[in-house]
Amino acid sequence: MKEFSTALNFEEIKIDGDLYRINEMTEEGRRIYLKAVGSSMKVKMISTGKKDKKGADEMRKEIDVTDLAGAQLELLEATLVKAEDDEGKGTKMVPIKRDNMKGWGAKMIEDLAKIASELSGMDMPETKRVEDAEKN
């Protein structure tokens, strides 16, 4: 039997020695994120080459992103927070805005976006396409 929890998952990471956390999005947060990046995505239905019980083609969604960097930054803005001391009252988590990520390396952004997408049950399209190509 599968068990579920309503507690959101997160992964703690360090960037330049500072503590950050990538949070799983709520369903509402994911809906807002997908709406925000929707104009930079194209969704196509692709045949898997298999048939269902009724003989119809089984289909899967393929998402092409026209602005992958923008989608990654949008995802990180929705999920990335930094631990900061709250004037001796303890640590608070402060959301990181896109402007704060401008000087970060492209590979780091890609790696962070992969963590964020996995936590929220989404595959970043480019990553999925590379994985599928490697299988074939």
- Where do the structural domains in the chain lie, given as residue ranges? 10-40+67-135
Q: Per residue of the chain (136 residues), what is the pLDDT tens digit?
A: 999 999 999 999 999 999 999 999 998 888 888 887 776 667 778 888 888 889 888 888 776 766 666 788 889 999 999 998 767 666 789 999 999 998 999 999 999 999 999 998 876 555 444 444 445 4
Query: What are the start-end ranges of the E strands in the chain?
Result: 10-15, 18-23, 41-51, 57-65, 80-85, 91-95
User: pTM for this structure?
Assistant: 0.68
Residue 120 CA to residue 80 CA, distance in Å, equals: 12
CATH top class, domain 10-40+67-135 = alpha beta
